Amino acid sequence: MTTTAVRTRGTARGPRDSLMSRTTAMIIMSVFTVYFLLPIWWLFVASTKSTGDILTSDPLWFADPQLLSNLGDLFAYRDGVYLRWLGNSVLYAGLGGLVATLLAGMCGYALAKYHFRGREFMFSVVLGGVLVPATALALPLFLLFSQVELTNTFWAVFLPSIVSPFGVYLTRIFAAGSVPDELLEAARLDGSGELRTFFTVSLRLMSPALVTVFLFQFVTIWNNFFLPLIMLRDEALFPVTFGLYGWNTQLNQIPELRMLVLVGALVSIIPLVVTFLSLQRFWRSGLGAGAVK
């Protein structure tokens, strides 16, 4: 079929085609939505069941819902160690994400707006960092942290989390496009120092990109499993993902943990959902801004 033919048919039966393509799009999207939401639905339903019912009742429908008592059990188990883990995760991911965003923003801004010797080389090195998977760095990091006796501490997970080469890349591209040189020139003429310009002018212009970087980094840290696995021994420092994993490996021995793992998993996705919903407004404008330029 040639392009002309398509075009002719397209104009002749435009409305119908668009209805059809809309329907098709809707169907495809609905299928994917169901596909993505089904596991969450399963998780929610399973979280409301007793340990016995999880295995024996219909996996996609309720049986004697007891979500509240399950939640009570979860928060009470071993003196509320779960809440501690959740708090740790929020701290690692929230604080780590913020610091990482700030550092990446500064770095990307500097690479975009200042001309200095070795700039492109430095940028290439950072880009190289994007290609190295975090998992591959975990063991070297462990040996490094062992040398300075920082393993099994808060810093062992926090320090590696505040680095985001991808963030540097994104903010550089974004700063180059969205922070006009003229504006910086004007700020300088008005006597503003470089740092002040960065924090009062540039940072705001870059905010959509920064939100994106923060979200990415937040999710990355939240889901980072291998690093805590290698670095931490003290249960009081575990993030929630690693703590749940530990419980999950003990199911053969203590089958009652199954219910706690499921409820724990359900609760642990809430902070992610909240973060996304509250920041997605910025995120959308961030991705769009890059697209039209």
Partner 1 sequence: MKHMRKAAVVALLSSFALAACSSGDEGSEAAASGSGADAAGGACAPAGEDVTLSFTTWIPGIEGVVDIWNEQNPDIQVEVQTGPNGLGGTYQNFFNQIEAGNAPDLGQIEYDALPNFRVQGGLEDLSACEDVVAAESEFVEWTWSQVTLGEESSIYGIPQDSGPMAMFYRKDLFEENGIEIPTTWDEYAEAAAQVREAGGYITNFSQTDINQFAGFVWQADGQWFSTEGDEWTVELDSDPSLAVADYWQGLLDEDLVATYPAWTDEWNNAYNSSEVWTWVSAVWGANSIASGAPDTAGNWAVAPAPQWEEGGTDAGNWGGSSTAVLKGSEHMYEATKFALWLNTSEEALTALNEAANLYPATIAGLELPVLKEGVEFYDDQPIYDVFAEAAKQVVPDFTWGPTMTQVYADASDGFKAAATGSGTLAEALTTGNQKTIDALNAQSIPVAE
Q: Which is nearer to partner 1, 103 or 173 (CB)?
A: 103
Q: Which is nearer to partner 1, 46 or 275 (CB)?
A: 46
* Residue 85 and residue 240 in contact, taking contact as beta carbons nearer than 8 Å: yes
Q: How near is the Cβ of 66 to partner 1 at its closest, in Å?
A: 15
Own/partner contacts of 145-153, CB < 8 Å, gap of 24 or more, are 145/231, 151/231, 151/232, 151/233, 152/231, 152/232, 152/233, 152/234, 152/237, 153/237
The DSSP secondary-structure symbol of 205 reads H
Q: How near is the Cβ of 171 to partner 1 at its closest, in Å?
A: 10
Q: Which is nearer to partner 1, 222 or 247 (CB)?
A: 247
Q: Which is nearer to partner 1, 126 or 263 (CB)?
A: 126
Binding positions for partner 1, rule: CB under 8 A: 51-52, 55-56, 59, 78, 103-104, 106-111, 113-116, 119, 122, 125-126, 129, 132, 137, 139-144, 146-147, 149, 151, 159-160, 162-163, 165, 168, 188, 194-195, 198, 229-230, 232-235, 242, 245-246, 249-258
Q: How far apart are CA 219 and CA 92, in angstroms?
A: 11
Q: Is 151 left (phi over 0), alpha (psi -120 to 50) or beta?
A: beta
Q: How near is the Cβ of 20 to partner 1 at its closest, in Å?
A: 41
Q: Which of helix, strand or coil describes residue 2?
A: coil
Q: How near is the Cβ of 245 to partner 1 at its closest, in Å?
A: 6
Q: How near is the Cβ of 46 to partner 1 at its closest, in Å?
A: 10
For tokens 């089958």, the residue is 255
